[in-house]
Amino acid sequence: MIKTLLNHRSIRKYLPDSINEATINNILTAGIRASNTGNMQVYSIIVSSKNETKQKLWEVHFKQDMILQAPLLITFCADFNRFVKWCKLRKAEPGYDNFLSFITAATDALLVAQNVALAAEHCGLGICYLGTTTYNAGKIIEILNIPKGVVPITSLVIGYPDEKPELTDRLPPEAVIHYETYHDYSSDDIDKYYFDKENSSLAKDLLITNKKETLAQIFTDNRYTHKDNVFFSKSFLDVIKEQGFMNNE
Amino acid sequence: MIKTLLNHRSIRKYLPDSINEATINNILTAGIRASNTGNMQVYSIIVSSKNETKQKLWEVHFKQDMILQAPLLITFCADFNRFVKWCKLRKAEPGYDNFLSFITAATDALLVAQNVALAAEHCGLGICYLGTTTYNAGKIIEILNIPKGVVPITSLVIGYPDEKPELTDRLPPEAVIHYETYHDYSSDDIDKYYFDKENSSLAKDLLITNKKETLAQIFTDNRYTHKDNVFFSKSFLDVIKEQGFMNNE
Protein backbone atom coordinates (compact mmCIF):
# COMPACT_ATOMS: atom_id res chain seq x y z
CA MET A 1 0.00 0.00 0.00
CA ILE A 2 2.60 2.57 1.12
CA LYS A 3 4.76 1.33 -1.76
CA THR A 4 1.96 2.10 -4.25
CA LEU A 5 1.56 5.57 -2.76
CA LEU A 6 5.31 6.25 -2.87
CA ASN A 7 5.76 4.89 -6.39
CA HIS A 8 3.16 7.08 -8.08
CA ARG A 9 4.20 8.67 -11.36
CA SER A 10 1.85 10.12 -13.94
CA ILE A 11 1.88 8.08 -17.15
CA ARG A 12 1.59 9.92 -20.47
CA LYS A 13 2.27 7.04 -22.92
CA TYR A 14 -0.03 4.02 -23.02
CA LEU A 15 -0.21 0.60 -24.66
CA PRO A 16 -3.42 -0.07 -26.62
CA ASP A 17 -4.24 -3.09 -24.39
CA SER A 18 -7.77 -3.07 -23.05
CA ILE A 19 -8.55 -3.51 -19.34
CA ASN A 20 -10.74 -6.45 -18.41
CA GLU A 21 -14.15 -5.78 -16.97
CA ALA A 22 -13.45 -7.41 -13.59
CA THR A 23 -10.45 -5.12 -13.06
CA ILE A 24 -12.48 -2.04 -14.00
CA ASN A 25 -15.22 -3.08 -11.58
CA ASN A 26 -12.74 -3.68 -8.76
CA ILE A 27 -11.18 -0.28 -9.27
CA LEU A 28 -14.51 1.52 -9.33
CA THR A 29 -15.81 -0.39 -6.31
CA ALA A 30 -12.71 0.67 -4.38
CA GLY A 31 -13.43 4.23 -5.51
CA ILE A 32 -16.94 4.22 -4.11
CA ARG A 33 -15.71 3.22 -0.62
CA ALA A 34 -13.98 6.61 -0.20
CA SER A 35 -15.20 8.93 2.53
CA ASN A 36 -18.02 11.20 1.38
CA THR A 37 -20.15 13.90 2.91
CA GLY A 38 -22.94 12.58 5.14
CA ASN A 39 -23.03 9.44 2.97
CA MET A 40 -24.95 11.42 0.35
CA GLN A 41 -22.49 10.29 -2.36
CA VAL A 42 -22.90 13.51 -4.28
CA TYR A 43 -20.69 12.54 -7.22
CA SER A 44 -20.90 10.69 -10.50
CA ILE A 45 -18.27 8.69 -12.37
CA ILE A 46 -18.46 8.66 -16.18
CA VAL A 47 -16.41 5.89 -17.77
CA SER A 48 -15.76 6.55 -21.47
CA SER A 49 -14.07 3.97 -23.67
CA LYS A 50 -15.51 4.28 -27.19
CA ASN A 51 -13.26 5.94 -29.73
CA GLU A 52 -16.03 8.31 -30.76
CA THR A 53 -16.45 9.69 -27.22
CA LYS A 54 -12.73 9.77 -26.51
CA GLN A 55 -12.08 11.66 -29.76
CA LYS A 56 -14.50 14.39 -28.70
CA LEU A 57 -13.00 14.58 -25.21
CA TRP A 58 -9.49 14.62 -26.70
CA GLU A 59 -10.39 17.83 -28.53
CA VAL A 60 -11.38 19.65 -25.34
CA HIS A 61 -8.52 18.24 -23.25
CA PHE A 62 -5.99 20.10 -25.44
CA LYS A 63 -5.50 17.12 -27.82
CA GLN A 64 -3.21 15.14 -25.54
CA ASP A 65 -2.34 11.92 -27.38
CA MET A 66 -2.51 9.74 -24.27
CA ILE A 67 -6.31 10.16 -24.27
CA LEU A 68 -6.56 8.33 -27.59
CA GLN A 69 -3.93 5.72 -26.62
CA ALA A 70 -5.35 4.64 -23.26
CA PRO A 71 -8.50 2.48 -23.15
CA LEU A 72 -10.28 4.52 -20.46
CA LEU A 73 -11.05 8.13 -19.77
CA ILE A 74 -12.99 8.62 -16.55
CA THR A 75 -14.66 11.95 -15.77
CA PHE A 76 -15.44 12.63 -12.10
CA CYS A 77 -18.29 15.02 -11.42
CA ALA A 78 -19.75 16.91 -8.49
CA ASP A 79 -23.36 15.66 -8.67
CA PHE A 80 -26.38 16.87 -6.68
CA ASN A 81 -28.77 15.98 -9.54
CA ARG A 82 -29.45 12.44 -8.32
CA PHE A 83 -29.79 13.45 -4.66
CA VAL A 84 -32.11 16.37 -5.48
CA LYS A 85 -34.32 14.13 -7.66
CA TRP A 86 -34.56 11.74 -4.71
CA CYS A 87 -35.50 14.56 -2.32
CA LYS A 88 -38.21 15.85 -4.66
CA LEU A 89 -39.72 12.37 -5.00
CA ARG A 90 -39.75 12.03 -1.19
CA LYS A 91 -41.60 15.21 -0.12
CA ALA A 92 -38.30 16.83 0.89
CA GLU A 93 -37.30 20.36 -0.14
CA PRO A 94 -33.65 20.31 -1.30
CA GLY A 95 -31.43 23.33 -0.63
CA TYR A 96 -28.40 22.29 -2.67
CA ASP A 97 -28.28 24.89 -5.44
CA ASN A 98 -25.53 26.91 -3.77
CA PHE A 99 -21.75 27.27 -3.72
CA LEU A 100 -21.18 25.26 -0.53
CA SER A 101 -23.02 22.32 -2.09
CA PHE A 102 -20.78 22.57 -5.14
CA ILE A 103 -17.65 22.49 -2.94
CA THR A 104 -19.08 19.56 -0.94
CA ALA A 105 -19.82 17.57 -4.08
CA ALA A 106 -16.50 18.44 -5.73
CA THR A 107 -14.70 17.22 -2.59
CA ASP A 108 -16.62 13.94 -2.68
CA ALA A 109 -15.74 13.48 -6.36
CA LEU A 110 -12.03 14.18 -5.83
CA LEU A 111 -11.66 11.68 -2.97
CA VAL A 112 -13.32 9.03 -5.15
CA ALA A 113 -10.96 9.92 -8.00
CA GLN A 114 -7.89 9.46 -5.84
CA ASN A 115 -9.14 6.06 -4.62
CA VAL A 116 -9.73 5.01 -8.24
CA ALA A 117 -6.25 6.24 -9.22
CA LEU A 118 -4.58 4.27 -6.43
CA ALA A 119 -6.60 1.11 -7.03
CA ALA A 120 -5.67 1.31 -10.72
CA GLU A 121 -1.98 1.73 -9.93
CA HIS A 122 -2.16 -1.18 -7.53
CA CYS A 123 -3.48 -3.30 -10.46
CA GLY A 124 -0.44 -2.42 -12.61
CA LEU A 125 -2.22 0.31 -14.54
CA GLY A 126 -0.94 3.82 -15.13
CA ILE A 127 -2.94 6.98 -14.57
CA CYS A 128 -2.82 10.67 -15.40
CA TYR A 129 -5.06 13.43 -14.07
CA LEU A 130 -6.35 15.98 -16.58
CA GLY A 131 -6.42 19.49 -15.12
CA THR A 132 -8.02 20.58 -18.38
CA THR A 133 -11.35 19.26 -16.99
CA THR A 134 -12.10 22.55 -15.22
CA TYR A 135 -10.79 24.59 -18.18
CA ASN A 136 -13.34 23.18 -20.59
CA ALA A 137 -16.04 21.90 -18.24
CA GLY A 138 -18.77 23.50 -20.39
CA LYS A 139 -17.72 21.55 -23.49
CA ILE A 140 -17.38 18.31 -21.48
CA ILE A 141 -20.94 18.84 -20.24
CA GLU A 142 -22.14 18.96 -23.86
CA ILE A 143 -20.16 15.91 -24.99
CA LEU A 144 -21.21 13.74 -22.05
CA ASN A 145 -24.88 14.89 -21.90
CA ILE A 146 -24.40 16.12 -18.35
CA PRO A 147 -27.57 17.63 -16.82
CA LYS A 148 -28.02 20.58 -14.47
CA GLY A 149 -26.78 19.91 -10.92
CA VAL A 150 -23.64 18.19 -12.21
CA VAL A 151 -20.16 19.71 -12.81
CA PRO A 152 -17.07 17.82 -14.12
CA ILE A 153 -14.20 18.46 -11.70
CA THR A 154 -11.39 16.13 -12.77
CA SER A 155 -10.62 13.27 -15.17
CA LEU A 156 -8.31 10.28 -15.16
CA VAL A 157 -6.69 8.63 -18.15
CA ILE A 158 -6.18 4.95 -17.27
CA GLY A 159 -4.34 2.21 -19.16
CA TYR A 160 -1.27 -0.01 -19.26
CA PRO A 161 1.91 2.12 -19.24
CA ASP A 162 4.16 2.35 -22.28
CA GLU A 163 6.83 4.27 -20.41
CA LYS A 164 8.68 4.08 -17.10
CA PRO A 165 9.28 7.67 -16.09
CA GLU A 166 11.48 8.62 -13.14
CA LEU A 167 9.78 9.78 -9.97
CA THR A 168 9.24 13.52 -10.24
CA ASP A 169 10.87 15.75 -7.65
CA ARG A 170 9.02 17.12 -4.64
CA LEU A 171 9.84 20.05 -2.38
CA PRO A 172 11.37 18.87 0.92
CA PRO A 173 8.59 17.81 3.34
CA GLU A 174 9.30 20.75 5.67
CA ALA A 175 8.41 23.10 2.79
CA VAL A 176 4.77 21.97 2.72
CA ILE A 177 4.21 20.66 6.28
CA HIS A 178 3.58 23.06 9.16
CA TYR A 179 3.53 21.92 12.77
CA GLU A 180 0.85 23.23 15.12
CA THR A 181 0.11 26.42 13.13
CA TYR A 182 1.13 27.91 9.78
CA HIS A 183 4.64 29.35 9.70
CA ASP A 184 4.93 31.83 6.89
CA TYR A 185 7.95 31.74 4.59
CA SER A 186 10.88 34.14 4.71
CA SER A 187 12.90 34.80 1.56
CA ASP A 188 15.61 32.57 3.00
CA ASP A 189 13.07 29.76 3.47
CA ILE A 190 11.99 30.06 -0.17
CA ASP A 191 15.62 30.01 -1.36
CA LYS A 192 16.32 26.91 0.73
CA TYR A 193 13.16 24.97 -0.16
CA TYR A 194 13.40 25.61 -3.91
CA PHE A 195 17.18 25.10 -4.11
CA ASP A 196 17.14 21.48 -5.31
CA LYS A 197 14.30 22.07 -7.77
CA GLU A 198 16.05 25.10 -9.28
CA ASN A 199 19.41 23.39 -9.50
CA SER A 200 18.26 20.13 -11.04
CA SER A 201 19.39 19.20 -14.53
CA LEU A 202 15.72 19.20 -15.56
CA ALA A 203 15.39 22.84 -14.52
CA LYS A 204 18.58 23.81 -16.31
CA ASP A 205 17.41 22.13 -19.52
CA LEU A 206 14.04 23.90 -19.25
CA LEU A 207 15.70 27.31 -18.95
CA ILE A 208 17.64 26.72 -22.16
CA THR A 209 14.65 25.27 -24.08
CA ASN A 210 12.31 28.05 -22.95
CA LYS A 211 14.92 30.81 -23.11
CA LYS A 212 14.03 32.03 -19.60
CA GLU A 213 16.14 33.45 -16.79
CA THR A 214 14.34 31.64 -13.93
CA LEU A 215 12.30 28.45 -13.55
CA ALA A 216 9.44 30.43 -11.98
CA GLN A 217 9.11 32.42 -15.23
CA ILE A 218 8.38 29.19 -17.12
CA PHE A 219 5.31 28.76 -14.89
CA THR A 220 4.11 32.38 -14.98
CA ASP A 221 4.90 33.12 -18.65
CA ASN A 222 4.35 29.76 -20.37
CA ARG A 223 2.54 27.09 -18.38
CA TYR A 224 0.04 28.78 -16.06
CA THR A 225 -0.34 32.35 -17.25
CA HIS A 226 -2.41 35.13 -15.72
CA LYS A 227 -4.35 35.50 -18.98
CA ASP A 228 -5.34 31.81 -19.15
CA ASN A 229 -6.16 31.65 -15.45
CA VAL A 230 -8.48 34.65 -15.67
CA PHE A 231 -10.16 33.26 -18.80
CA PHE A 232 -10.74 29.82 -17.25
CA SER A 233 -11.77 31.31 -13.89
CA LYS A 234 -14.61 33.14 -15.64
CA SER A 235 -15.66 30.16 -17.74
CA PHE A 236 -15.62 27.74 -14.79
CA LEU A 237 -17.59 30.16 -12.60
CA ASP A 238 -20.09 30.46 -15.47
CA VAL A 239 -20.40 26.66 -15.61
CA ILE A 240 -20.95 26.43 -11.83
CA LYS A 241 -23.68 29.08 -12.17
CA GLU A 242 -25.31 27.52 -15.24
CA GLN A 243 -25.34 24.12 -13.57
CA GLY A 244 -27.30 25.66 -10.71
CA PHE A 245 -24.81 26.10 -7.87
CA MET A 246 -24.77 29.87 -7.39
CA ASN A 247 -28.10 30.62 -5.72
CA ASN A 248 -26.55 31.84 -2.49
CA GLU A 249 -29.47 33.91 -1.16
CA MET B 1 -4.08 -2.09 -0.86
CA ILE B 2 -7.52 -2.85 -2.31
CA LYS B 3 -8.40 -4.30 1.10
CA THR B 4 -7.51 -1.02 2.80
CA LEU B 5 -9.64 0.87 0.28
CA LEU B 6 -12.60 -1.47 0.71
CA ASN B 7 -12.38 -1.53 4.50
CA HIS B 8 -12.57 2.21 5.05
CA ARG B 9 -14.90 3.38 7.79
CA SER B 10 -14.84 6.78 9.44
CA ILE B 11 -13.79 6.54 13.10
CA ARG B 12 -15.45 8.86 15.61
CA LYS B 13 -14.09 7.41 18.89
CA TYR B 14 -10.36 7.37 19.59
CA LEU B 15 -7.91 6.00 22.14
CA PRO B 16 -5.62 8.61 23.72
CA ASP B 17 -2.51 6.75 22.44
CA SER B 18 -0.05 8.98 20.65
CA ILE B 19 1.32 8.18 17.19
CA ASN B 20 5.07 7.79 16.92
CA GLU B 21 7.00 10.29 14.85
CA ALA B 22 8.24 7.77 12.27
CA THR B 23 4.65 6.72 11.51
CA ILE B 24 3.54 10.35 11.15
CA ASN B 25 6.45 11.04 8.81
CA ASN B 26 5.69 7.97 6.69
CA ILE B 27 2.05 8.95 6.35
CA LEU B 28 2.86 12.54 5.37
CA THR B 29 5.58 11.45 2.94
CA ALA B 30 3.04 9.17 1.24
CA GLY B 31 0.68 12.14 1.09
CA ILE B 32 3.18 14.34 -0.71
CA ARG B 33 3.62 11.76 -3.51
CA ALA B 34 0.03 12.32 -4.69
CA SER B 35 -0.52 13.78 -8.16
CA ASN B 36 -0.55 17.57 -8.18
CA THR B 37 -0.98 20.29 -10.75
CA GLY B 38 2.14 20.90 -12.83
CA ASN B 39 4.25 19.80 -9.85
CA MET B 40 3.62 23.20 -8.28
CA GLN B 41 2.49 21.52 -5.02
CA VAL B 42 0.07 24.32 -4.24
CA TYR B 43 -1.06 23.00 -0.88
CA SER B 44 -0.03 23.07 2.75
CA ILE B 45 -0.49 20.50 5.50
CA ILE B 46 -0.90 21.80 9.06
CA VAL B 47 -0.39 19.11 11.70
CA SER B 48 -1.83 20.16 15.07
CA SER B 49 -1.31 18.02 18.17
CA LYS B 50 -1.13 20.38 21.18
CA ASN B 51 -4.19 20.45 23.40
CA GLU B 52 -4.32 24.23 23.24
CA THR B 53 -4.57 24.27 19.44
CA LYS B 54 -6.95 21.32 19.26
CA GLN B 55 -9.23 22.94 21.85
CA LYS B 56 -9.56 26.04 19.67
CA LEU B 57 -10.16 23.97 16.53
CA TRP B 58 -12.69 21.80 18.41
CA GLU B 59 -14.77 24.94 19.02
CA VAL B 60 -15.03 25.77 15.32
CA HIS B 61 -15.52 22.16 14.20
CA PHE B 62 -18.86 22.04 16.06
CA LYS B 63 -17.31 20.63 19.27
CA GLN B 64 -16.98 17.06 18.08
CA ASP B 65 -15.39 15.09 20.93
CA MET B 66 -13.22 12.98 18.66
CA ILE B 67 -11.06 16.06 17.97
CA LEU B 68 -10.01 16.19 21.62
CA GLN B 69 -9.64 12.39 21.88
CA ALA B 70 -7.42 11.78 18.84
CA PRO B 71 -3.75 12.82 18.95
CA LEU B 72 -3.72 14.54 15.54
CA LEU B 73 -5.84 17.03 13.65
CA ILE B 74 -4.47 17.80 10.21
CA THR B 75 -5.75 20.77 8.22
CA PHE B 76 -5.23 20.62 4.44
CA CYS B 77 -5.08 23.95 2.65
CA ALA B 78 -5.13 25.25 -0.89
CA ASP B 79 -1.88 27.26 -0.85
CA PHE B 80 -0.55 29.62 -3.53
CA ASN B 81 1.25 31.77 -0.91
CA ARG B 82 4.53 29.81 -1.08
CA PHE B 83 4.51 29.56 -4.89
CA VAL B 84 3.71 33.25 -5.34
CA LYS B 85 6.50 34.24 -2.93
CA TRP B 86 8.87 32.12 -5.00
CA CYS B 87 7.72 33.76 -8.25
CA LYS B 88 8.18 37.26 -6.84
CA LEU B 89 11.72 36.43 -5.67
CA ARG B 90 12.56 35.10 -9.15
CA LYS B 91 11.51 38.01 -11.38
CA ALA B 92 8.32 36.19 -12.37
CA GLU B 93 4.87 37.85 -12.35
CA PRO B 94 2.37 35.45 -10.70
CA GLY B 95 -1.24 35.37 -11.93
CA TYR B 96 -2.71 33.09 -9.27
CA ASP B 97 -5.12 35.40 -7.44
CA ASN B 98 -8.18 34.03 -9.23
CA PHE B 99 -10.89 31.38 -8.83
CA LEU B 100 -9.30 28.80 -11.14
CA SER B 101 -6.13 28.92 -9.04
CA PHE B 102 -8.20 28.34 -5.92
CA ILE B 103 -9.85 25.28 -7.51
CA THR B 104 -6.46 24.00 -8.71
CA ALA B 105 -4.93 24.36 -5.25
CA ALA B 106 -7.97 22.89 -3.49
CA THR B 107 -7.78 19.86 -5.81
CA ASP B 108 -4.08 19.39 -4.99
CA ALA B 109 -4.85 19.59 -1.26
CA LEU B 110 -7.70 17.06 -1.43
CA LEU B 111 -5.65 14.44 -3.30
CA VAL B 112 -2.90 14.79 -0.68
CA ALA B 113 -5.52 14.42 2.08
CA GLN B 114 -6.86 11.18 0.62
CA ASN B 115 -3.32 9.75 0.34
CA VAL B 116 -2.68 10.67 3.97
CA ALA B 117 -6.01 9.10 5.03
CA LEU B 118 -5.21 5.84 3.25
CA ALA B 119 -1.62 5.67 4.48
CA ALA B 120 -2.91 6.22 8.03
CA GLU B 121 -5.50 3.47 7.68
CA HIS B 122 -2.84 1.16 6.31
CA CYS B 123 -0.84 1.79 9.51
CA GLY B 124 -3.77 0.71 11.69
CA LEU B 125 -4.94 4.23 12.44
CA GLY B 126 -8.48 5.52 12.08
CA ILE B 127 -9.47 8.72 10.30
CA CYS B 128 -12.43 11.03 9.97
CA TYR B 129 -12.84 13.93 7.55
CA LEU B 130 -14.27 17.18 8.94
CA GLY B 131 -16.65 18.85 6.48
CA THR B 132 -16.90 21.68 8.98
CA THR B 133 -13.56 22.96 7.60
CA THR B 134 -15.27 24.92 4.82
CA TYR B 135 -18.08 26.06 7.16
CA ASN B 136 -15.72 27.87 9.50
CA ALA B 137 -12.67 28.42 7.29
CA GLY B 138 -12.41 32.04 8.44
CA LYS B 139 -12.08 31.06 12.08
CA ILE B 140 -9.58 28.29 11.26
CA ILE B 141 -7.49 30.88 9.40
CA GLU B 142 -7.33 32.96 12.60
CA ILE B 143 -6.50 30.03 14.87
CA LEU B 144 -3.77 28.63 12.64
CA ASN B 145 -2.24 32.00 11.61
CA ILE B 146 -2.94 31.29 7.97
CA PRO B 147 -1.80 34.08 5.60
CA LYS B 148 -3.39 35.43 2.41
CA GLY B 149 -3.19 33.03 -0.54
CA VAL B 150 -4.09 30.05 1.66
CA VAL B 151 -7.58 28.53 2.27
CA PRO B 152 -8.35 25.51 4.51
CA ILE B 153 -10.34 23.00 2.46
CA THR B 154 -10.57 19.85 4.58
CA SER B 155 -9.29 18.33 7.83
CA LEU B 156 -8.54 14.85 9.08
CA VAL B 157 -8.79 13.57 12.62
CA ILE B 158 -6.23 10.75 12.99
CA GLY B 159 -5.65 8.34 15.87
CA TYR B 160 -6.00 4.78 17.09
CA PRO B 161 -9.66 3.65 16.88
CA ASP B 162 -11.71 3.04 20.01
CA GLU B 163 -14.64 1.60 18.04
CA LYS B 164 -15.21 -0.91 15.25
CA PRO B 165 -18.14 0.44 13.29
CA GLU B 166 -19.84 -1.55 10.54
CA LEU B 167 -19.16 -0.58 6.96
CA THR B 168 -21.64 2.13 5.98
CA ASP B 169 -23.98 1.42 3.09
CA ARG B 170 -23.38 2.70 -0.43
CA LEU B 171 -25.77 3.11 -3.34
CA PRO B 172 -25.39 0.27 -5.85
CA PRO B 173 -22.46 0.97 -8.21
CA GLU B 174 -24.79 1.46 -11.20
CA ALA B 175 -26.39 4.39 -9.33
CA VAL B 176 -23.19 6.46 -9.45
CA ILE B 177 -21.33 5.03 -12.47
CA HIS B 178 -22.30 6.03 -16.00
CA TYR B 179 -20.88 4.30 -19.05
CA GLU B 180 -19.78 6.34 -22.06
CA THR B 181 -21.98 9.38 -21.28
CA TYR B 182 -24.26 10.53 -18.44
CA HIS B 183 -27.62 8.77 -18.31
CA ASP B 184 -30.06 10.88 -16.38
CA TYR B 185 -32.28 9.27 -13.75
CA SER B 186 -35.97 8.44 -14.18
CA SER B 187 -38.23 8.30 -11.11
CA ASP B 188 -38.08 4.52 -11.40
CA ASP B 189 -34.28 4.62 -11.34
CA ILE B 190 -34.34 6.71 -8.18
CA ASP B 191 -36.82 4.34 -6.49
CA LYS B 192 -34.66 1.36 -7.44
CA TYR B 193 -31.29 2.84 -6.47
CA TYR B 194 -32.47 4.20 -3.08
CA PHE B 195 -34.56 1.13 -2.18
CA ASP B 196 -31.99 -0.60 0.05
CA LYS B 197 -30.95 2.64 1.76
CA GLU B 198 -34.57 3.57 2.51
CA ASN B 199 -35.51 0.11 3.73
CA SER B 200 -32.53 -0.48 6.01
CA SER B 201 -33.09 -0.80 9.74
CA LEU B 202 -30.85 2.26 10.16
CA ALA B 203 -33.22 4.33 8.02
CA LYS B 204 -36.26 3.07 9.88
CA ASP B 205 -34.70 3.96 13.24
CA LEU B 206 -33.80 7.42 11.95
CA LEU B 207 -37.39 8.10 10.87
CA ILE B 208 -38.65 7.29 14.35
CA THR B 209 -35.91 9.25 16.16
CA ASN B 210 -36.30 12.29 13.92
CA LYS B 211 -40.10 12.03 13.57
CA LYS B 212 -39.93 12.33 9.81
CA GLU B 213 -41.94 10.73 7.03
CA THR B 214 -39.01 10.13 4.64
CA LEU B 215 -35.25 9.64 4.96
CA ALA B 216 -34.66 12.48 2.47
CA GLN B 217 -36.40 14.90 4.85
CA ILE B 218 -33.79 14.13 7.52
CA PHE B 219 -31.16 15.47 5.11
CA THR B 220 -33.10 18.52 3.91
CA ASP B 221 -34.69 19.50 7.25
CA ASN B 222 -32.07 18.45 9.83
CA ARG B 223 -28.63 17.62 8.50
CA TYR B 224 -27.93 19.78 5.44
CA THR B 225 -30.52 22.53 5.42
CA HIS B 226 -31.04 25.24 2.83
CA LYS B 227 -30.53 27.91 5.51
CA ASP B 228 -27.16 26.53 6.66
CA ASN B 229 -25.97 25.91 3.11
CA VAL B 230 -26.74 29.48 2.05
CA PHE B 231 -25.07 30.86 5.18
CA PHE B 232 -21.90 28.82 4.69
CA SER B 233 -21.86 29.44 0.92
CA LYS B 234 -21.62 33.16 1.59
CA SER B 235 -19.03 32.83 4.34
CA PHE B 236 -16.81 30.47 2.31
CA LEU B 237 -17.04 32.70 -0.77
CA ASP B 238 -16.05 35.63 1.47
CA VAL B 239 -13.03 33.66 2.73
CA ILE B 240 -11.96 32.79 -0.83
CA LYS B 241 -12.22 36.49 -1.73
CA GLU B 242 -10.44 37.72 1.41
CA GLN B 243 -7.63 35.23 0.87
CA GLY B 244 -7.10 36.72 -2.58
CA PHE B 245 -8.64 34.25 -5.03
CA MET B 246 -11.42 36.30 -6.63
CA ASN B 247 -9.57 38.72 -8.91
CA ASN B 248 -11.01 37.29 -12.10
CA GLU B 249 -10.50 40.29 -14.39
Closest by Cβ to B230, choosing from A98, A190, A213? A98
Q: Judged by CB atoms within 8 Å, which residues 199-238 of A form the interface with B?
A: 213-217, 219-221, 223-227, 229-230, 232-234, 236-237
Is the pLDDT confidence value at A1 over 90? Answer: no
B167 secondary structure, DSSP code: P
- Stretch B178-195: mean pLDDT, rounded? 98
Closest C-alpha among A116, A119, A97 to residue A108: A116
- B66-123 pLDDT, tens per residue? 999 999 999 999 999 999 999 999 999 999 999 999 999 999 999 999 999 999 999 9
pLDDT of residue A103: 98
Res. B142 pLDDT band, cuts 50 70 90: very high
- Stretch A31-51: mean pLDDT, rounded? 98
pLDDT of residue A99: 98
Global pTM reads 0.98
Tell me which chain A residue has its CA closest to the CA of residue B145: A182
B24 inside 8 A of chain A by CB: no
Q: Judged by CB atoms within 8 Å, which residues 41-80 of B form the interface with A?
A: 41, 43-50, 53, 77, 79
Q: Positive or negative CA dihedral for B212, B218, B220, B224?
A: positive
A155, β-bridge pairs = A75
Res. A8 pLDDT band, cuts 50 70 90: very high
Question: With contacts defined as CB-CB under 8 Å, which chain A residues touch B146?
Answer: 182
- A155-190 pLDDT, tens per residue? 999 999 999 999 999 999 999 999 999 999 999 999
Full set of structural domains in chain A with CATH: 2-165 (3.40.109.10)
DSSP string, B11-78: ---B------HHHHHHHHHHHHTS--GGG---EEEEEE-SHHHHHHHHHHTTT-THHHHSSEEEEEEE
Q: Positive or negative CA dihedral for B214, B220, B221, B223?
A: positive
Q: What percent of chain A has pLDDT over 70?
A: 100
Res. A154 pLDDT band, cuts 50 70 90: very high
Minimal C-alpha gap between A180 and chain B (Å): 4
- Stretch A103-131: mean pLDDT, rounded? 98
Q: What percent of chain B has pLDDT over 70?
A: 100
Q: What percent of chain B has pLDDT over 90?
A: 99
Helical packing angle, A226-242 and B99-122, nearest 10°: 80
Q: Judged by CB atoms within 8 Å, which residues 75-104 of A form the interface with B?
A: 77, 79, 81-83, 85-87, 89-96, 98-101, 103-104
Is the pLDDT confidence value at B1 over 90? Answer: no
B168 secondary structure, DSSP code: P
- Stretch B158-169: mean pLDDT, rounded? 97
- Stretch A72-86: mean pLDDT, rounded? 98
Geometric angle at alpha carbon A24, from A22 and A25, rounded to 5°? 65
- B216-242 pLDDT, tens per residue? 999 999 999 999 999 999 999 999 999
CB atoms under 10 Å from CB of B124, counted, come to: 10
- How confident is the prediction for chain A on average, in pLDDT? 97
